[in-house]
Amino acid sequence: MEIYKSVAQSILVLENSNEGMARISALLNPHYRVRSLAAGATVLQECSMDPPDLILIDTTRPDNEGVASCIALKDNATTSAIPVILMTHDDDVEVQQLMYEIGAEDYITRPLCPPTLLSRIRAHMGAIGKGNAERLLSEFRAYEASKHKRQMIAMQEITLLALASLAETRDYETGNHLKRTQHYVFALGQSLMQNPRFSAILTIDRLHTLFKCAPLHDIGKVGIPDKILLKPGRYEPGEYNLMKEHPRLGRDAIQNAQDLVGDSSDFLEVAKEIVYSHHEKWDGSGYPQGLAGDAIPVSARLMALADVYDALVSRRVYKVGMPHAQAAELIVQGRGSQFDPDMVDAFLQLGEEFQGIALRYADSDQDLQHKEDLMRNAL
């Protein structure tokens, strides 16, 4: 929608997560000039270099940095007139009142509703003007007309995520494994967007699709018998060959669903790539197809590294997780054999971010005990 577009108007966004920043940028870029806080800079420094027309601040930033930034902006004569909108998960009335008391012009609760966010921004950026009124009404109607399509897409995603959760209940992984790996994939993909090898593929829209599809990578395990899937020791050759069928089983399940409903959406195509090819290796020694190099879909290459890293550093009911440095050494050993070399290089630059994701979505003792109980009952 072009309702709010103004070439001259800019928005500075202080967002706590890369995923959130990417989503906000994708929403606002068609209408405004959007930028995030430069690394190492303060909000006052950033505003003095290039004053924005409005500032969006995530209140969940570490050490209350978001609230502190709002106070600093409003206490500074140069920046006090810049409208500030706070983004918050807190719906407590007293907390919301405090937001106004520290100087914010407005706040919006999360998860963000795109039409509401755009409307709030427009309200604080100035009036629309008579010339845009008819276009505003027309585009609002178009937005409403597309709501059903968006709802159908959401139902597809929810259904497949439910299947992913079902697959997770049948092995030693926990639900947090799904969260960690999708954040690893997003971070790694985002870091590679400027790499000429990937720039045409790793667009913002594709990153969002990858984020949604990543939890589906092991849905084929639903078709593996418990006596193999839950075996605590090494597999016999025949058992291992059967276990290696889970990528094909998962791919076939998605393909059958596509054939049944006639759906060829990008979401399902990417899901099939990840499910079918995340055990392929750069040198061609993986499975089930023995693909090598660039013949392996980019989505699957990202998933392969994310999945291995999580398996190395995460606790399981049968093992402790290894330190990040040790896991990174093993991944470097697989550079050019198991993993795409450029992806390994990008991973090495994201050490702190990967460790932060692992910590944020770490499995608790209760998570592991619950999983152990489920596995014991299944055997």
Question: pTM (2 decimals)?
Answer: 0.59
Q: Which residue has the tokens 């609760």?
A: 109
Domain ranges for the chain: 10-145, 149-378
CA distance 263 to 117: 31
Q: Which residue has the tokens 């500075």?
A: 12
CA distance 104 to 89: 16
Q: Whose CA is closest to 253, among 280, 279, 218?
A: 218
Specify the fold of 10-145.
Rossmann fold (3.40.50)
pLDDT band at 320 (very low <50, low <70, confident <90, very high): confident
Q: Which residue has the tokens 């069928």?
A: 245
Q: Whose CA is closest to 165, among 217, 210, 207?
A: 217
Q: Whose CA is closest to 304, among 322, 291, 321, 323?
A: 291
Whether residue 197 has pLDDT greater than 50: yes
* Exposure b/e, 315-328, CB count within 10 A at least 16 = b: ebbeeebeebeebb
Region 236-248: what's the mean pLDDT?
A: 91
Which of 50-54, 128-132, 318-322 has the lowest average pLDDT?
Answer: 128-132
User: Contact, 212 vs 267, CB < 8 A?
Assistant: yes
Average pLDDT value for the chain: 83
CA distance 146 to 28: 19
> Who wins on pLDDT, 344 or 72?
344
Q: What percent of the chain has pLDDT over 70?
A: 79
Whether residue 375 has pLDDT greater than 60: no
Return the pLDDT at 128: 43
Q: Which amino acid is at 103?
A: G
Query: 67: which 2 tokens?
Result: 């609230």
Whether residue 2 has pLDDT greater than 50: no
Whether residue 331 has pLDDT greater than 80: yes
CATH of region 149-378: 1.10.3210.10
Q: What percent of the chain has pLDDT over 90?
A: 39
> Who wins on pLDDT, 318 or 46?
46
Return the pLDDT at 342: 98
pLDDT band at 145 (very low <50, low <70, confident <90, very high): low
CA distance 371 to 303: 23
Q: Which amino acid is at 257?
A: A
Strands ordered across the beta sheet of 54-58: 33-36, 10-14, 54-58, 84-88, 106-109
Which of 52-61, 84-93, 316-325, 368-377 has the lowest average pLDDT?
Answer: 368-377
73 φ, ψ (degrees, to nearest 5): -65, -45
Whether residue 1 has pLDDT greater than 50: no
CA distance 346 to 333: 15
Return the pLDDT at 378: 52
